Amino acid sequence: MKFNKKQRIAIFGTSADPPTIGHKKILIELSKIYSFTITYASNNPQKKHEEDISMRSLLLKTLIEDLNNPKIIFNQKISSQWAIQSIKKCKNIYESNNLDFVIGSDLIGEIFSWKNFDKIIREVTFFIIKREGYPIESNTLKMLENYKVNFEISSLNIPNISSSMVRLNTNYSNLPKSLIDIIKTNNLYVSTKLVE
């Protein structure tokens, strides 16, 4: 699939451990802004994942299929634990240089320690989504400017619902309905005692 050079493309990698109604809302909102949003499950080297990547990618794929939006594309082939690799794979597959890397305000402060940070900032614009309870600190903004990072702060406000909160919760209230059967059938996140 080749994109038109003028089309804005978002790349949204997530641990999806599990995907939440927060992820769902982000994807729906991105589809209103971007020509296409490419999403995939990834291993974050700074996190310990509860379920393996094959199961997390199945959950994310199921969510995308349920959304049934042609502007949201699930492509696990671009997944890498290193952002630079995912960005390069995405550019090769879709032959597009107009990529925005979607990141939450809770993670933006970490990018300065990412592997190949200096290369990443030449490849993409960061599209920062504000997550409730995680304001973008003024010193982070200064660092973004000092490093000449291209970034845009979204007007979207996403409620403070994280995968870790879902894992600790005792019900399915913050899970997309399309994922509940898979999670029950495969006894996922059993250590968190999910019950109805």
Residue pLDDT, tens place only, 101-159: 999 999 999 999 999 999 999 999 999 999 989 999 999 999 999 999 999 999 988 88
By percentage, how much of the chain surpasses pLDDT 90?
A: 74
- What the chain holds in terms of domains, given with CATH numbers, is 9-160 (3.40.50.620)
Tokens of 136: 């973008």
Angle at 165 between CA 124 and CA 112, to 5 degrees: 30
Instruction: Give the model's pLDDT for residue 168.
Output: 79
60, containing H or E segment: helix 53-67
Task: Give the CA distances from residue 33 to residues 67, 98, 103, in Å, rounded to whole numbers and listed in that order.
Answer: 16, 14, 15
> Is the pLDDT reported for residue 191 higher than 60?
no
> Is the pLDDT reported for residue 19 higher than 50?
yes
pLDDT band at 172 (very low <50, low <70, confident <90, very high): confident
Mean of all residue pLDDT scores within the chain? 91
Task: Give the CA distances from residue 180 to residues 18, 20, 23, in Å, rounded to whole numbers and listed in that order.
Answer: 10, 11, 15
pLDDT band at 196 (very low <50, low <70, confident <90, very high): very low
Instruction: Give the model's pLDDT for residue 173.
Output: 84
